[in-house]
Amino acid sequence: MKHKGYSYTVTTKQIIEYSRLSVRHKLQWLEAVNHLNFLALDKKTKKIQTLFRRAKI
């Protein structure tokens, strides 16, 4: 059976570097990535996500 999706490898060094980042930096990065993802979504998916975040569905 063919798997869908993707996978990636994270090295121990990358984990250590990430753990050294401030919480503020991690949250800023997360916010930027979420914004980028939202820009790439189609209108229907954006509408569903917005309704979900507003607890409308």
pLDDT score recorded for residue 6? 83
SS (H, E, C) the chain: CCCCCCCCCCCHHHHHHHHCCCHHHHHHHHHHHHHHHHHHCCHHHHHHHHHHHCCCC
The structure's pTM equals 0.58
pLDDT digits (tens, 9 = 90+) for 8-57: 899 999 999 999 999 999 999 999 998 998 899 999 999 998 899 899 98
Secondary structure letter of residue 57 according to DSSP: -
Secondary structure letter of residue 24 according to DSSP: H
pLDDT score recorded for residue 1? 66
| CA pair distance 12, 15, nearest whole angstrom | 5
